[in-house]
Structure formats: C-alpha cells, structure tokens
Amino acid sequence: GDSVTQMEGPVTLSEEAFLTINCTYTATGYPSLFWYVQYPGEGLQLLLKATKADDKGSNKGFEATYRKETTSFHLEKGSVQVSDSAVYFCALSEYDMRFGAGTRLTVKP
Amino acid sequence: SAVISQKPSRDICQRGTSLTIQCQVDSQVTMMFWYRQQPGQSLTLIATANQGSEATYESGFVIDKFPISRPNLTFSTLTVSNMSPEDSSIYLCSCQGESKNIQYFGAGTRLSVL
C-alpha cells in the first residue's frame, strides 16, 4: 500500500541555518503530496502541497518539489527562524491520506 | 480552505468514564475524519464519517469504543468510551477540502486519562 518515509529526527539547527527534511513515498498511482506543520500545542496546518510531478510547493520560505523519478518530496528552507520550531509531517493522498512519522525541528537563537 | 473548531481543547478524565469531542466546520463538507496521535507519534486514522451514513472504522478501532455521530454537513462528534490510561492521546478531526486530496485539521483535543 501507499506509504511515506520521513527523515528521523529530532533536528536541531541554529537560526539562519539551511534546513532539509527528507521525505520519500511509495504509491501505486499519482498521489498528491503535502507538508503539514504542527506547532507546540496545536493541530496540523497545511504548509504546502504539490499535485503532480515537477510541481513545486512553497509557503513561508519553505519549498518542496515533487520528484517522480526519485519518489521524493524533500522540504527545504534557506534560513530557519526560532519560530519555525515545530513538528513537520510529510503526507500523501491517493485513495486516503498517509502521514510520515513526523520530524521535530528545534531552532536555537 | 475550511476552518475547524474542536472542543474541548484538553481534558483530564478518570478511568472508566467517557468523553465526547465536538468538531464544527465553517462550511458544508462531505467527508470528515477522526485521527489519534499518541505521544511523539504520527497520526492514525480512527474512522471516516460521512453525513447520513455509519462511520467507517479502520482496523483496530471499533464503534463500541469510539462511537461517532455526523448529524449534518458541518458537525461531527467522537466519543471515547470507557477510557483507560492507554487512551491518553491527542484526538484530531479533519475535513476534506474542495480539492478532495487536501484535509484541514482542527487544533486537537489533548486527553489525559488517570
């Protein structure tokens, strides 16, 4: 069945560092791909999405490109801030929604 | 996008009691979902709730333990019945967006069972 494999955390970075969180997927067809973010004490918020190969999703300085050839959807940000500290979930949706295990990011001043 | 109000935001309950979680959407939606997020874990789908029909439960979840109501297109409830400490989790509701692949989430209910 469909599944998402996400880079294990936790990840700790200094402010203004470059962020990459790896995500790969397995699917039988052509899923849509998502990154959700969960700030401390809150629910999940949709961060960005991509619905077909080579699409790039972007929001709040975060980017991810749907790579069909490598079945990947890595999350990147050029310069993280303390306020980016949260748990990030990669997800795919084909017949239902499948979530990765989540990666906890802590950004230190 | 859809805005979901979920309540209560947190509760501490005694073993053997039941808690009903409410989820209100600001627009009419066909499909709503209930998830459990155990401490430090990802989300696990409990059930899918469509208006006017019985909820569809995932493997490992049963109606007697997690009864769900879906009386109209903007509202759903999940009851956690006969609670034990193992039920301590975050419970999240979500709804399907206009683009059917997207889900929008409520803020979650943080449940602790003593």
Q: Which helix (H) or strand (E) holds A12?
A: strand A11-14
Q: B46: closest CA among B56, B37, B32, B34?
A: B34
Chain B residues lying within 8 Å of A49, measured CB to CB: 101-102
Q: Which of A45, A93, A100 sits opposite B42 (nearest CB)?
A: A100
Tell me whether residues A89 and B106 touch, CB distance under 8 A.
no
Q: What is the pLDDT of residues A63-93, one digit of tens each?
A: 999 999 999 999 999 999 999 999 999 999 9
Tell me whether residues A101 and B41 touch, CB distance under 8 A.
yes
Tell me whether residues A89 and B43 touch, CB distance under 8 A.
yes
Q: Which of A4, A6, A99 to mutate to test the interface with B (most CBs of B within 10 A)?
A: A99
Q: What is the pLDDT of residues A7-38, one digit of tens each?
A: 888 999 999 999 999 999 999 888 999 999 99
Angle at B31 between CA A93 and CA B35, to 5 degrees: 65
pLDDT along chain B (114 residues), means of 10: 92 97 95 92 92 90 96 95 96 86 92 97
pLDDT value for B98: 76
The answer to whether residue B51 neighbours chain A at the CB level (below 8 Å) is: no
Question: Going by C-beta distance under 8 Å and a sequence separation of 6 or more, which residues neighbour residue A38?
Answer: A44, A45, A86, A87, A88, A89, A102
Does residue B45 contact residue B58 with C-beta atoms inside 8 Å? yes
Does residue A107 contact residue A14 with C-beta atoms inside 8 Å? yes
Q: What is the pLDDT of residues A46-61, one digit of tens each?
A: 999 999 999 999 999 9
pLDDT value for B54: 87
pLDDT value for B52: 81
Q: Which of A45, A93, A102 sits opposite B101 (nearest CB)?
A: A93
- How many pairs of residues across A and B have Cβ atoms under 8 Å apart? 44
pLDDT value for A31: 93
The answer to whether residue B111 neighbours chain A at the CB level (below 8 Å) is: no
* Cα–Cα distance list, B75 to B9, B24, B35 (Å): 16, 5, 16
pLDDT value for A40: 87
pLDDT value for A96: 83
Residues facing residue B21 across a β-bridge = B78
For chain B, helix, strand, coil in percent to 5 are 5, 50, 45
pLDDT value for B96: 87
Angle at B30 between CA B25 and CA B31, to 5 degrees: 80
More reliable by pLDDT, A94 or A15: A15
